[in-house]
Amino acid sequence: MTDHVAPERRSEIMSRINGKDTSPELLVRSLLYRMGYRFRVHLKDLPGCPDIVFSRRRKIIFVHGCFWHSHRGCKRAALPKSNVEFWRHKLSKNKERDIANRRNLKRLGWQVKTIWQCELNNPPKLERTLRVFLEGSALC
Ligand SMILES: [Zn+2]
């Protein structure tokens, strides 16, 4: 039987199964694309396998779910009412990993920006944030 799903779509489906290409990330990617930016995704050679990579600009964007990455002060990041210790431990590990990845990327000369899931609620503001980050000086 032939696969009636186009290969592009098929690889998108498969990568979703692997936990990548979450929808907030896809939204940011499609916004960036419409803004005219071109980029690479999920570069395994870099610390943390960054979501969106602008090689020439030496810039990286991570798109983080507010809950999984403990967005400080965000209501989406509230701990579940049960198994509190389990979640606290798990989420603090995620946070430590994020901090380490960020530090390592900066050491390698990359500028790193995190876009939070909740920022997707305001596309015009998100677009400004992205443009400021991407067009800003790379010399800092
Ligand atoms: Zn948030």
**Using one digit for the tens of pLDDT, what is the confidence trace for 21-59?**
568 999 999 999 999 999 999 999 999 999 999 999 999
Which of 76, 77, 117 has the alpha carbon at shortest distance from 95? Answer: 77
Q: Is residue 61 exposed (0-12), middle (13-18) or buried (19+ Cβ within 10 Å)? A: buried
Name the pTM for this structure: 0.80
Cα 78 to middle of ligand 1, angstroms:
10
Instruction: Report CA(129)–ligand 1 centroid distance (Å).
Output: 15
Determine the distance separating the centroid of ligand 1 and the alpha carbon of 61, expressed in angstroms.
16
The pLDDT assigned to 59 comes to: 97
- Strand 40-41, strand 52-54: pairing: antiparallel
Please name the amino acid found at residue 16. R
Q: What token pair was written down for 76?
A: 């989406």
Residues of the chain with pLDDT under 50: 14-15, 17-18, 139-140
pLDDT at 10: 53
The Å distance, Cα 25 to ligand 1 centre, comes to 14
Q: How far is the CA of 66 from the centre of ligand 1 (A)?
A: 4
Q: Which pLDDT does position 75 carry in this prediction? A: 94
pLDDT at 140: 45
Q: Beta 59-64 vs 40-41: how paired, if at all?
A: unpaired
- CA 30 from chain centre, in angstroms, equals 13
